[in-house]
Structure 1
Amino acid sequence: MIVRLVIAECSVDYAGRLSAHLPMARRLILVKADGSVSIHADDRAYKPLNWMSPPCTLTIDTAPEPLEGDLAEVIQRWQVRNTAGELLQISITAVHHDSSHELGVDPGLQKDGVEAHLQELLAANPDTFGDGWSLVRREYPTAIGPVDLLCRNADGMHVAVEVKRRGEIDGVEQLTRYLELLNRDPLLSPVRGVFAAQAIKPQAKVLAADRGISCVVVDYDALRGIDNPEDRLF
């Protein structure tokens, strides 16, 4: 797997379900082996300023014609298009660094014992999320990694479930990216999202609600059959 890192003076325009513009500034452009392209600033932790998820195609014009709004000489214009017709256009006026690196095969994220077992228990008990739910597949593959659980609810709608021991904002962001890809598949769409964890932080609940994702707090001990809520006094 080869990843390309470019640090450049650039402006970015996105046209698709909405329009967005990033004015000229020095940024990191990341091109991954899966075809994804993302633009990063020196903040926001891991989250890009803008991106295009695979499948998409990248074309680079090294002698572009100036466009209306170009305030400096553009030496490269990148155009990233996906199958939905969305366009991410990067106009570069100077390149400070451009390198490619072989990362090799990644072994993937290893869940801790509790989180892995929690996923296994929920796969065996999909009715935890509601009557009539059924499991389609554990570790359902996508271009950016596997979804923990793909289920069907009582209405036959597909639901992607992300399972965490502690539910935080990064888990919601992860599920959002999965949903974006899954909903491009006409055989699956529409796909809802459920964020399941033993405890979910308030900020994660707010973000999930904004993204239309349901939050479910699950009882690990009850799923293991060692704690019956009906036997509790309080």
Structure 2
Amino acid sequence: MYGDAWNDMSSEYDNCVENNPNHVISNFINQEIKIISNLFKKFIKPDKNYIVIDLGSGTGRVLFSLQNIFGNSLSYCGLDASESMIQLSKTKQSKLNLQNISFQNYDVTNTKIDELFDDDSIKIPICVYNTIGVIPIQKREQFFENMKKLAGNEGFVLLSAFNGDDFAFASPQIYHPMKSMVKQIDADSFDEEKLAFRNSLGYYSQWFKKTQLQAFLKSEINPIPIKVFINDVPHVLGHVFVDRFIEN
């Protein structure tokens, strides 16, 4: 996550995301991980070394899930601007006794981010669960440049985001179950014109159209939809994007 505001939200993050009993949230993150892991399975070769770099790693949910799937065949690094998120990640890591994951309190828009990784591993930078939506507008271009720089020619960039087919329908489905984390939902919190969730406490999360995210990634690859059933009807609440074609 990005900035000091997330320090106050960190204590509720796992309850509102990873451990949320609401089926919309739980199904979303399950589908998200399934899509991500399937892309990894297509890309990863047994004779090469890879490191997955989660930019805005929160409390480590995605990296722990990937480690559970791929084990020690990959290395993992989580970067987050919230110190309390990182501390929670390290506490969870210690309990799981995992040695191939590292976490660091770091500004993911820092222009020198590539200096953190001096080995010859193939980098797979990822940013999931609409973390891109809380990156400040003035730092967004640098953020995408950092992801592309980390991936280089051998890795690939992966991004997932909230961008449902119908913002007015989809956004309340996601944010109401996370109310204890965002603290407040106001009458005007769902801004259809700007495709953003906001509240009077200062929380702001942008959504993006598919074409916008493809432009950010400089990619023409069609994203993979994240579908969730609501009242027995499938709804697309987000997509997973990559910056290059991944062969089977």
Q: Give the TM-score of the pair, scaled to structure 2.
A: 0.28
Relative contact order higher in (CA < 8 Å, ≥ 6 apart): 2
Larger helix proportion, structure 1 or 2? 2
Larger strand proportion, structure 1 or 2? 1
Q: Give the TM-score of the pair, scaled to structure 1.
A: 0.29
Higher-Rg structure is 1
